[in-house]
Structure 1
């Protein structure tokens, strides 16, 4: 513990007196100088007694709608109206990258009253004083708020430094061992949530039954829902069913195909035009890590789990805008987009919406690089990581050691956006396990407490489900559950799961578990239920066992007739299956592929033994009666 404490005392992240690094400070200074220049220009007409119209326009440059002050009287009521509109456009800028929106409102607030003034109206004599007072109040408020936030962050940092070494030791002490490959199977609760995934993934291309359809710009966008469905299926395949392809592969292929359709990525041409003033509609060109990072990881996880390398072929990922306009890509160019943008950006971390750098999106991009490197023998992650972590620490770390979720690439301003340490713990584990463990130590210490010896969770406020913008704590509970599972903290995971079941019990629709909340929350919950210690880390950095990638595979079944709880090859020649009926008890046939041609196999189905011979293509068709859990083992016949 002494060594851990020494490391914390020396760590620059826990000795910062600011929450902005050199680059952020430079851009903040540039922004302030720009607005100072605008203010000076805006004051000059009033100082030199120029025409009323110019004085009004100038005051409009100092403050959104400030030009109405020159008219006095009832026109003063237009100042708060325009200021409210300005704040609304700031939200639009943040949400969609539309930088034209706030600029337009500010300019209109100068032009409209100037036009109304003309050259014959007398300027209200107190107009400059009022506008300058508003500017002074805003600047004073910002200075006070920033100093207060910094003071609170520094105080929180000092508390963290006092307990963090012990908290890290406790994380290690609580952690259960990683499960051995091939030792687990999905239970009925996990299968009920898996059905939620399949029912969304197996739809025809262009259909989105069961998804939330609100907007395509922010966190409720369809693309994120598709990503999370695919991520959950990938974790299931990696750790429970790597030797089941069939409709599990088909589900992931359809999700990848859905991502290529215009309704999913068509937000980008708009954002690139009004945010970057760029008319290149290619979603894998400039910025847009909220697509390339998330999608790149989705594709690489599928390839890692299945060995199916179709998306490495040129044009295999073609984004369709219209019959005449398509953008041909493959996994190499998607990953290349991430690499190019990171190398070109001064922050290294680069924007989602134009001008807005969101750290979790960049975490997804780094995981995509790590997985791609493992698949193709490249060194992108290794090459970029030093600069990435340097800029993360300098420019995107608060004085208390937590990560800043969102910063403007253009102005340098950081914007409050929810990304708690429990989320960072999960997201960052495949990137840097020690850093992620630190985040979980902070979350465990600050978000859990004991009452009468019973572990409980602090839930502050009403909570929000970012998948549909509704109030509720289920997304927060899911974050804690996922991180606890990933770090092998059984007590914290059980506490989170029990709280979820108490506050938000699921409804069952034809055997499918549906929890209150958004599609994204349900899909991340499905993944959380499947997680074991370091599962997320291992799915990115290791993938399935080599024996599974070589061994026989299950196919030839349909959803929802048969649910697969386990499919694993321990030796590369055998196969262990656990099957459940998903649509009533029935007799089924299923196919085993990738066997030795014409070889004999000993087969045990629900305790009944028999010997079968594979055909010349290494295929074998078997039958079973499903009326509950059905275990199947297939091994090469003894000589």
Structure 2
């Protein structure tokens, strides 16, 4: 397995932390709650979404033959998107006002439904998260009627409870229709505002939706959206930086040239327009990297606080450097984080606790870190050694890969799955485990093995048992009507191979 990509102990620590956050009870946002959005209501939806995308990368690249952890954790994250804490922010945002449209004299009545129009900063993420799940697992879970049900429970205002009922098919169709209605110039977030970064998620959601359902939404949107992008000047030709936003009614572009805007847009645009992002990245690197490593961006956060989005610049640009394959920048930024952001291990989970101490010291080091960066962006960067999202969207699993054997029932507290894949040429299933916080005896299952065949199980090259229906041999057992199981000592790192016998 030496040529297969492997997760490190730090990688697994980040993944366990994501699993911990995703598994918290509804309404428990402990360790979350980024305030970079500056709306006083929190911005957890971005943490949920970016953690789900990180898991998609892990699933696709590192552990295609081990699915239960990433799949269940994604489902927990998607489920949290239906909580009122997340989507009810739209009630106020839908009303607009001079903040988003200088020509709007009065606030609109607005509307509660978070899906029916605009709000791409929410429904674009919901689309991408759910379509990613379907593209990987083909369960149909989110394509069933009512899969996305938003319950408004009138208690202090309103005319009574209301349910807004959708599924993945509805969301994809609505998003596509809004691209068409906008002349492919982008779906609005708040009324009158188009953000380039938020539209990346909608495009990628349509890509995965097309792969799962055979539609042509993304195939229509991508070339026309890119043409509008160039026509409107969403990326500055001189600087290579992306705009922050556009006012639609006034047709006014607001440039940015910031690491958060360039990073966020570039990470995900790279998945559908790799050559374009690669062509402008060197200029963005020249603009941002030295300042980030010298604490200058942290200084701006501390002393100016405008925009508060500067808080996520470090994480966004680190994740961009990772996606474009800039190993030197990625490693330098991750090293900075490990020196300054107090990496903390708790029961096998690794995270960076939030710190609001943004002022850099005399050496240009700051301990300030926002939780979106800490919980999602830095793990995303560490786990992505280049082209992670490009691969996820352009090299989808085939039906044969989904039908291949895979491992299951692995207790993450006992062992972390560093790599898991099926080699169709060698007819062998590979698994690498690293000891977890409660390392010891472990029993794992294997699913979708051919019951008419027999298999040998090896640990670090040495045979530890054979699998055949109705028999037990060494560490391996395959009872009639049950999944085959293997019992091992996971107290030390080891690699396992389950190979078909001739």
TM over 0.5: yes
| Match status 1:398 vs 2:236 | yes
> Which ranges in structure 1 are unaligned for 5 or more consecutive residues?
1-179, 450-454
Which of 228, 243, 250 is residue 65 of structure 2 equivalent to? 243
| Match status 1:481 vs 2:322 | no
| Match status 1:443 vs 2:284 | yes
Partner of 1:222: 44
Preserved contact between residue 421 and residue 442 of structure 1 (Cα < 8 Å): no
Give deviations 1:299-351, integer Å, cap 9, x for gaps: 12222222322212222222232395222212111111211111112562121
What is the alpha-carbon distance in structure 1 between the residues aligned to residue 412 and residue 27 of structure 2? 20
Preserved contact between residue 611 and residue 637 of structure 1 (Cα < 8 Å): no
| Match status 1:290 vs 2:121 | yes
Deviation at 1:230, TM superposition (A): 0.9
| Match status 1:576 vs 2:435 | no
- Corresponding residue SS for 1:298: helix
What is the alpha-carbon distance in structure 1 between the residues aligned to residue 170 and residue 2 of structure 2? 33
Which of 18, 31, 36 is residue 197 of structure 1 equivalent to? 18
| Match status 1:600 vs 2:454 | yes
Partner of 2:210: 373
Alignment of 1:189-588 (within 5 A): 189-212=10-33, 214=35, 220-273=42-95, 277=108, 280-322=111-153, 324-346=161-183, 348-395=185-232, 396-398=234-236, 400=238, 401-415=240-254, 418=258, 419-448=260-289, 457=293, 460-461=296-297, 462-464=299-301, 475-516=312-353, 517-522=369-374, 523-544=376-397, 548-571=401-424, 574-588=428-442
Q: 1:599 to 1:618 in 2, by over 3 A?
A: farther
What is the alpha-carbon distance in structure 1 between the residues aligned to residue 289 and residue 68 of structure 2? 42
Q: 1:247 to 1:424 in 2, by over 3 A?
A: closer
What is the alpha-carbon distance in structure 2 between the residues aligned to residue 216 and residue 313 of structure 1? 35
Preserved contact between residue 415 and residue 439 of structure 2 (Cα < 8 Å): no
- Corresponding residue SS for 1:402: coil
What is the alpha-carbon distance in structure 2 between the residues aligned to residue 317 and residue 472 of structure 1? 29
- Corresponding residue SS for 2:128: helix
Deviation at 1:623, TM superposition (A): 0.9
Preserved contact between residue 426 and residue 482 of structure 1 (Cα < 8 Å): yes
Q: 1:426 to 1:588 in 2, by over 3 A?
A: same
TM-score w.r.t. length of structure 1: 0.65
> Which structure's residues are more often helix, by fraction?
1
What is the alpha-carbon distance in structure 2 between the residues aligned to residue 470 and residue 211 of structure 1? 20
Deviating 4+ runs (over 6 angstroms): 468-474
Partner of 1:86: none
The Cα RMSD (Å) is: 3.1
> Which ranges in structure 2 are unaligned for 5 or more consecutive residues?
98-106, 155-160, 354-368, 469-477
Deviation at 1:273, TM superposition (A): 4.2
Q: 1:618 to 1:304 in 2, by over 3 A?
A: farther
Q: 1:474 to 1:544 in 2, by over 3 A?
A: farther
Alignment of 1:617-628 (within 5 A): 617=481, 619-628=483-492
Partner of 1:118: none
What is the alpha-carbon distance in structure 1 between the residues aligned to residue 416 and residue 246 of structure 2? 44
Deviates more, 1:456-465 or 1:319-328: 456-465
Paired positions, count: 452
- Corresponding residue SS for 2:378: helix
The higher radius of gyration belongs to: 1
Give deviations 1:461-514, integer Å, cap 9, x for gaps: 42549xx99989884343333223222222222222223333334122233222
- Corresponding residue SS for 1:343: helix
Give deviations 1:133-183, integer Å, cap 9, x for gaps: xxxxxxxxxxxxxxxxxxxxxxxxxxxxxxxxxxxxxxxxxxxxxxx9971
Q: 1:447 to 1:281 in 2, by over 3 A?
A: closer
Preserved contact between residue 422 and residue 439 of structure 1 (Cα < 8 Å): no
What is the alpha-carbon distance in structure 1 between the residues aligned to residue 411 and residue 336 of structure 2? 35
Give deviations 1:340-397, integer Å, cap 9, x for gaps: 1111125621211222211100111111112211222222122122331222223234
Partner of 1:590: 444
Deviation at 1:448, TM superposition (A): 4.8
Give deviations 1:542-583, integer Å, cap 9, x for gaps: 234665422222222334333211121121853211122322
